[in-house]
């Protein structure tokens, strides 16, 4: 035991310095390399902690909120910091700070569906009933011997003598009658010819019989009024020579009149035959007259762009007079149908297009440019036929200032048809994206095929089949895998979806054919931009145009045939249109 201890002590004394050196080296190595690992852990922890409190979102789908970077679960785009959102807005979006919104006095309102009712105010005038007007002309050439009506406005009764005319030709005809009366039985043809001549000169049968029985010629033939009423025109004077067919008098029955109102195109939606209308005149203050619409002019006046709306009114007391100016009022009620209404102040008009700005539901300072199709005006609101969905919030005040901000930022706006690229300056709308994936091209060919089926339905004026193929078209667009796109091409596609999806959603519903065609026009123009930009069609397409469609503003469509088959008129004007572009 003692010997073992001595051996260990000798070894320590011999190898001690080496062991101490080794221990010191291990300690220094741990401090260097172990410390680095510890520092790395600290750095990694700090990197993780750097994302605490951050919100990452998608520029195309701002409803996505994550606490760390990643991919958008909807479109596959890289998420960005919420604070950088404004820098990644699409070409159809504009951002305004809170202070800018206050200065521009921006306010918003939600688009809602509601039953349409209200009052329509029309102006017009009173006219004579054309069916109660008699134009009295001379049927013979002669001279006015006596004039029993000396002024316009004179009351006359049916059969009253208005004037007498001396006519040598009529005297000769009467003499022929008297002579042929004795040959009535032996030569009846002479007698009948003499009677017929006097009848054609508008002598009555009683006048002819009186001449025949008396055997005396009437040198002054009376001119009788065929109706009772008021003389509204006198165009002859005593002693005046008149020719056959010369207008002598106009007699109107004013006990029943017409009231004719001017209705603009936007008013015609709310007017129909049988509808009650009330009106007032200045000459009878405080009194309202009632009438019923009996006729709506099928043709607009090319100068004033109004249609006449006519109603009939009784006038037993003579309070109403032709040419009086009147103010009318029509009340219209719901017809078991709701419409999407927006304030008139929300809409910017660009001639061919109507524009609204839709507020982002997750960022109150972001507004999106949206083109809509509007219908009739109802009071201070307009019906929106397509381009907007119920519940979307739109700017109702300060809209023009929002559009001005979009122009300054180089975004799509009412006046900016060409978008501005901050890196390249001004660029054409028909931008082309290269290297699109094969899967995206195949899916887009499905979209085009479904679109062409929809177009054929509208050519055939088959609204039921059009609604079905609209649903198929929307489904084909929804199935396109947008994550294969990136950067500007992805934004371009998302802008397309923002415009087309709400319209296709409406197209799948039951709508009149005219509404389907209006919505189809917008889809056609947007799909044309996509086909041109991505060059994905596997067949030649022709971009065609009809100048008569859309109230003569013109509309486009895509077709796989060069032959014109108009989807906006069908058989009515099947070949109206021309080819404006060819895409392959």
pLDDT of residue 29: 46
Q: Is the pLDDT of residue 427 over 50?
A: no
pLDDT of residue 87: 53
What would the two tokens of residue 10 be?
């000798």
What would the two tokens of residue 501 be?
């999806």
What would the two tokens of residue 169 be?
């030709």
Closest to 95 measured CA to CA, from 448, 467, 411: 411
Q: Is the pLDDT of residue 277 over 90?
A: yes
pLDDT of residue 53: 62
Q: Is the pLDDT of residue 14 over 60?
A: no
H or E element, residue 259: strand 256-264
Q: What percent of the chain has pLDDT over 90?
A: 20
- Over residues 339-365, the mean pLDDT reads 85
pLDDT band at 296 (very low <50, low <70, confident <90, very high): very high
Q: Is the pLDDT of residue 369 over 80?
A: yes
Inter-axis angle of helices 205-214 and 168-181, nearest 10: 60
pLDDT of residue 60: 56
pLDDT band at 88 (very low <50, low <70, confident <90, very high): low
Q: Is the pLDDT of residue 127 over 90?
A: yes
Closest to 147 measured CA to CA, from 125, 131, 163: 163
- Over residues 109-120, the mean pLDDT reads 84
pLDDT of residue 538: 67
pLDDT of residue 52: 60
Q: What does the pLDDT look like over 511-540, one tens digit per residue?
A: 788 888 888 988 998 898 888 888 776 678
- Over residues 178-204, the mean pLDDT reads 84
- Over residues 482-494, the mean pLDDT reads 75
pLDDT of residue 428: 42
- Angle, CA 290 vertex, CA 286 and CA 296 arms, to 5°: 130
pLDDT of residue 187: 82
Q: Is the pLDDT of residue 490 over 50?
A: yes
pLDDT of residue 203: 79
pLDDT band at 279 (very low <50, low <70, confident <90, very high): very high
pLDDT band at 97 (very low <50, low <70, confident <90, very high): confident
pLDDT of residue 432: 67
Which residues have CB under 8 Å from 366's CB, separation 6+?
62, 85, 86, 89, 93, 94, 95, 359, 360
- Over residues 362-373, the mean pLDDT reads 87
Between 483 and 581, whose confidence is greater? 581
Distance CA 397, CA 346 (A): 7
Q: Is the pLDDT of residue 143 over 80?
A: yes
Phi-psi label, residue 553: left if phi above 0, alpha if psi -120 to 50, beta otherwise? alpha
Q: Is the pLDDT of residue 368 over 60?
A: yes
- Over residues 273-297, the mean pLDDT reads 92
Which residues have CB under 8 Å from 131's CB, separation 6+?
none
Closest to 104 measured CA to CA, from 429, 365, 349, 279: 365
What would the two tokens of residue 480 be?
């396109």
pLDDT band at 429 (very low <50, low <70, confident <90, very high): very low
- Over residues 161-174, the mean pLDDT reads 88
pLDDT of residue 259: 95
Give backbone dihedrals phi and psi of 114, rounded to 5 degrees, phi first.
Answer: -155, 160
Q: Is the pLDDT of residue 422 over 80?
A: no
- Over residues 294-313, the mean pLDDT reads 90
* The model's pTM: 0.45
Contact predicate 539/548, CB 8 Å: no
Q: Is the pLDDT of residue 222 over 80?
A: yes
Q: Is the pLDDT of residue 292 over 90?
A: yes
Q: What percent of the chain has pLDDT over 70?
A: 82
Q: What does the pLDDT look like over 20-45, one tens digit per residue?
A: 444 444 444 444 444 444 444 444 44
What would the two tokens of residue 71 be?
């991919």
pLDDT band at 293 (very low <50, low <70, confident <90, very high): very high
SS (H, E, C) 377-431: EECCEEEEEECCCCCCEEEEECHHHHHHHHHHCCCCCCCCCCCEECCCEECCCCC
Q: Is the pLDDT of residue 475 over 70?
A: yes
Q: Is the pLDDT of residue 400 over 70?
A: yes
- Over residues 127-139, the mean pLDDT reads 88
* H helices, E strands: number in the chain: 12, 30
pLDDT of residue 280: 93
């Amino acid at each position: 035991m003692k010997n073992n201890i001595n051996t260990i002590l000798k070894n320590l004394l011999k190898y001690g310095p080496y062991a101490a050196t080794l221990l010191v080296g291990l300690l220094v190595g741990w401090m260097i390399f172990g410390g680095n690992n510890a520092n790395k852990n600290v750095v990694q922890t700090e990197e993780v902690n750097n994302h605490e409190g951050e919100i990452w979102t998608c520029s195309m789908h701002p409803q996505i909120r994550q606490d760390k970077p990643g991919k958008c679960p909807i479109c596959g785009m890289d998420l960005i910091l919420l604070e950088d959102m404004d820098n990644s807005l699409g070409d159809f979006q504009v951002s305004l700070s809170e202070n800018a919104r206050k200065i521009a006095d921006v306010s918003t309102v939600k688009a809602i569906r509601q039953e349409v009712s209200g009052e329509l105010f029309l102006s017009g005038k009173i006219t004579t009933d054309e069916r109660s007007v008699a134009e009295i002309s001379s049927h013979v050439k002669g001279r006015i011997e006596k004039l029993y009506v000396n002024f316009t406005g004179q009351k006359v009764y049916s059969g009253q003598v208005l004037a007498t005319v001396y006519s040598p030709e009529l005297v000769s005809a009467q003499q022929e009658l008297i002579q042929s009366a004795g040959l009535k039985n032996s030569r009846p043809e002479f007698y009948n010819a003499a009677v017929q001549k006097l009848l054609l000169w508008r002598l009555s049968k009683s006048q002819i019989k009186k001449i025949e029985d008396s055997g005396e010629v009437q040198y002054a033939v009376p001119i009788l009024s065929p109706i009772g009423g008021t003389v509204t025109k006198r165009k002859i004077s005593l002693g005046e020579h008149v020719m056959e067919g010369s207008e002598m008098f106009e007699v109107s029955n004013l006990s029943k009149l017409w009231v004719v109102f001017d209705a603009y195109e936007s008013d015609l939606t709310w007017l129909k035959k049988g509808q009650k209308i009330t009106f007032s005149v200045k000459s009878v203050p405080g009194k309202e007259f009632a009438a019923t619409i009996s006729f709506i002019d099928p043709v607009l006046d090319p100068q004033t762009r109004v249609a006449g709306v006519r109603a009939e009114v009784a006038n037993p007391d003579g309070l109403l007079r032709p040419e009086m100016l009147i103010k009318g009022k029509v009340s219209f009620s719901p017809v078991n149908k709701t419409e999407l209404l927006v304030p008139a102040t929300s809409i910017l008009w660009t001639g061919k297009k109507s524009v609204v700005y839709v507020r982002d539901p997750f960022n109150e300072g972001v507004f999106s440019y949206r083109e809509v199709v509007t219908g009739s005006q109802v009071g201070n609101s307009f019906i929106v036929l397509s381009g907007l969905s119920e519940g979307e919030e739109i700017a109702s005040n300060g809209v023009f200032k929002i559009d001005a901000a979009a122009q300054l930022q180089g975004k799509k706006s009412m006046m900016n048809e060409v978008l501005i690229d901050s890196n390249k300056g001004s660029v054409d709308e028909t931008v082309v994206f290269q290297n699109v994936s094969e899967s995206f091209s195949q899916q887009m060919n499905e979209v085009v095929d479904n679109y062409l089926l929809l177009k054929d339905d509208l050519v055939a004026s088959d609204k039921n089949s059009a609604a079905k193929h609209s649903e198929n078209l929307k489904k084909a667009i929804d199935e396109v895998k947008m994550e294969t796109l990136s950067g500007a091409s992805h934004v371009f596609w998302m802008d397309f979806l923002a415009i087309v999806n709400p319209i296709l959603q409406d197209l799948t519903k039951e709508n009149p054919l005219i509404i389907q065609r209006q919505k189809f026009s917008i889809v056609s123009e947007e799909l044309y931009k996509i086909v041109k930009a991505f060059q994905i069609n596997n067949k030649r397409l022709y971009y065609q145009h009809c100048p008569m469609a859309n109230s003569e503003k013109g509309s486009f469509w895509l077709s796989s045939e060069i032959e014109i088959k108009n989807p906006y008129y069908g058989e009515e004007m099947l070949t109206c249109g021309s080819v404006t572009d060819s895409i392959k």
